[in-house]
Structure 1
């Protein structure tokens, strides 16, 4: 349960998506005055299914037991008991052409974890949620009045006393600090870097068709096993991913072809398409997947942008979290998990600040432990797309190399000690505070 704010600090959060609400839950639990400013008319998430690895679910539980309970209420798992420790099964989406005799649909490997985290959290290795359902549940944790809507950020002005936020409707707000959780198109990031080299998203060379397919239809096309357990379908020129969401009521389907020369801007991430476009993108692919596409709700194409840079995630009293700082492609199923990790670390560091004079040291510590890991994820996700397309140098469609690399890259994400990372950040913060005190 949220504690009563003690007014040491006041935090303005720009963005009411999963990252912003997770941060608010963590801050309120520590008694920090918090308010969310959301540009939309209400809470909402774009997209459908989202995967969470063991690192993400543990971060959620560390932020708040109530948040973990809300997550578990929405959670969907592999239904096969033999896949309890399987995050995702990799299989061929096309016939292999390297002479190994593998056919479309044949298994490459089960990416598994034997880590205890999913037992600690009461979940399983592969846990998926419907984005909007999960957001609806965690919003219930924060007190009424914690958020203001239709607040499109225009500018932020810093002073010795704090920050002033200016919104498109002419209103203003004040706080000790502002945390930008406003996604890949972040206005907060634009303000943060306006007097330096801009940090802008780049098209990653991949776009996505995505849809939810009702369970019964999916079973008719794919069979029960492939409908009720997650699969990543590797193949030449792109890949598909399918997994159950909404307690198995739907199959979440994402098909991502490589299109390096596609002309698209981050301001318009979604372009219309047709089923003919989709079929042209997937020649020779598993006929079951192509049959499944008959039942897509739309054939819009979602450009995958990401954010690779070496700049610090803060300046002065302004800081970035989640996609606003380090948007990655979906190719490792870890973008949302990194935002949960951010929220855990940053909320706890802010709880250790004595007053607003400690903010820059808090952000320095946060940046020190989060930037390398999250930027490594952005780069790794780009490489993972090539692996999934059977096109990564040194791996290509080598069966044994695919199994080895898939196992190693997921373990890098999962094998993180978040509590040790927080302790490291606290030591960095306290070192800065002690040094600042000795200089006075």
Structure 2
């Protein structure tokens, strides 16, 4: 998502066509990984700046506005009779898309000639001439003035950046496992309606399942399901030791969620071939850029999905970097300064959201300080304690609709202007 959003942003802002953009994708073709993708008002404002709101709006039941909406219904569902805790109300709309639709929308903003598939980066090296030499798995190579690694949680560029900085033994070199597996899938609304008419997730969401509707390109309304099963004792263990991603039998997830309320059981019974992934994240990086080398997206701040902000933060990385690179007075000579500014603005923000995502996940699962006594299926929790959890969740998330990325853009451009 990060690479496509950067390419789209550069094409949108480079009015003078001073940049030659090349996007290298390791897969044989660009396809979606995962299922649904969420967008908060903060990210939607960036879509408006990139003039992507209109094409993305075709995948929504109604066009977003800035009035107050219920983003989520917070429920305690790990019991036979679920408990409504609180509606999370926000100014603006929390949006859900099929990931493939977002990717294809971004791709249409890119020059097809600039997209190169089946190009897995194996190494890179900064050259004495002031460029970067790229070496790919197929034996081919390329050169560039700036290398931006948005190459995922197992990023080759991140490793090279840390080694360049003398941090070859950094704890951030490789991802860690959060101890949590997520079971994901898409359900056709009609199938869910057939076994549970009027199911609330057709219009709202549950946890800790996270569930929301998405409207696919073919017009079908789908329900995106992400069901989490965690083992806190495995938190921050090596990602390489986590179970591998795989399709699993429905009975596996039904067993994990046995005893949950009927609406949850109905959802899970509709998952014909759920896929499970280990959720990884990064121990925070001290730097997202050095010289001509930049990282963004999961390569910089891979995070659990508990704030629904992983893709949004990749888009912010792309948005701010594109603003800097397309500044009318940006030149090759300014690349080190652009690197410094990007790091100064994006590293604190990305790391902050990474930390907030971890905290929010602990709140969802009653693992936060003060709630250690709560057990799954506990029906005797005082409602004021449930309300307290809901208020803490709302506080953790409010930056996604109360704040705008434009303040960070203004800060970045002001810092760049100070060096001109």
> Which TM bucket (shorter chain)?
0.7 to 0.9
Q: Which residue does 1:165 correspond to in 2? A: 134
CA-atom RMSD in angstroms: 2.4
- 1:379 is aligned, of 355, 358, 363, to 355
Q: TM-score if structure 2 supplies the norm length?
A: 0.86
Query: Distance in 2 between the 1:359 and 1:427 partners?
Result: 16
Aligned pairs (5 A) from 1:280-299: 280-299=255-274
Aligned pairs (5 A) from 1:202-241: 202-233=176-207, 239-241=208-210
Shift of the alpha carbon at 1:362?
0.7
1:365 aligns with 2:341: yes
Q: Which residue does 2:378 correspond to in 1? A: none
Q: Which residue does 1:28 correspond to in 2? A: 11
Structure 2 contact 10–326 (Cα < 8 Å) conserved = yes
Shift of the alpha carbon at 1:184?
1.0
Query: Distance in 1 between the 2:106 and 2:247 partners?
Result: 32
Cα 1:338–1:370 shift into 2, 3 Å = same
Report SS of the residue matched to 1:45.
Answer: coil
Shift of the alpha carbon at 1:418?
1.9
Unaligned runs of 5+ in 1: 1-17, 96-102, 119-124, 234-238, 435-440
Report SS of the residue matched to 1:358.
Answer: helix
Could you report, residue by residue, the CA deviation over 1:320-365 in whole angstroms, capped at 9, with x for unpaired residues?
1111100111111111111111111110011125321211211211
Cα 1:240–1:76 shift into 2, 3 Å = farther
Structure 2 contact 209–225 (Cα < 8 Å) conserved = yes
Query: How many pairs are equivalent?
Result: 391
Query: Distance in 2 between the 1:360 and 1:37 partners?
Result: 23
Shift of the alpha carbon at 1:222?
3.9
Structure 2 contact 146–293 (Cα < 8 Å) conserved = yes
Query: Distance in 1 between the 2:70 and 2:114 partners?
Result: 38
Could you report, residue by residue, the CA deviation over 1:397-435 in whole angstroms, capped at 9, with x for unpaired residues?
61221231122111123222322211111222233x25x
Query: Distance in 1 between the 2:369 and 2:133 partners?
Result: 49
1:422 aligns with 2:409: yes
1:154 aligns with 2:122: yes
Cα 1:76–1:391 shift into 2, 3 Å = farther
Deviates more, 1:291-300 or 1:301-310: 291-300
Shift of the alpha carbon at 1:269?
4.5
Structure 1 contact 158–164 (Cα < 8 Å) conserved = yes
Query: Distance in 1 between the 2:63 and 2:48 partners?
Result: 21
Structure 1 contact 308–379 (Cα < 8 Å) conserved = no
Query: Distance in 2 between the 1:34 and 1:290 partners?
Result: 48
Cα 1:220–1:391 shift into 2, 3 Å = farther
- 1:71 is aligned, of 56, 65, 77, to 56
Q: Which residue does 2:90 correspond to in 1? A: 113
Shift of the alpha carbon at 1:77?
6.6
1:304 aligns with 2:276: no
Aligned pairs (5 A) from 1:25-424: 25-29=8-12, 30=14, 31=17, 32-62=19-49, 64-65=50-51, 67-75=52-60, 85-95=69-79, 104-114=81-91, 118=92, 125-159=93-127, 160-194=129-163, 195-196=166-167, 197-198=169-170, 199=172, 200-233=174-207, 239-246=208-215, 249-261=221-233, 265-266=239-240, 269-271=244-246, 273-352=248-327, 354-394=330-370, 398-424=385-411
Structure 1 contact 221–288 (Cα < 8 Å) conserved = no
Query: Distance in 2 between the 1:413 and 1:137 partners?
Result: 22
Unaligned runs of 5+ in 2: 375-380
Query: Distance in 1 between the 2:61 and 2:298 partners?
Result: 24
Cα 1:109–1:208 shift into 2, 3 Å = same
Cα 1:240–1:104 shift into 2, 3 Å = farther
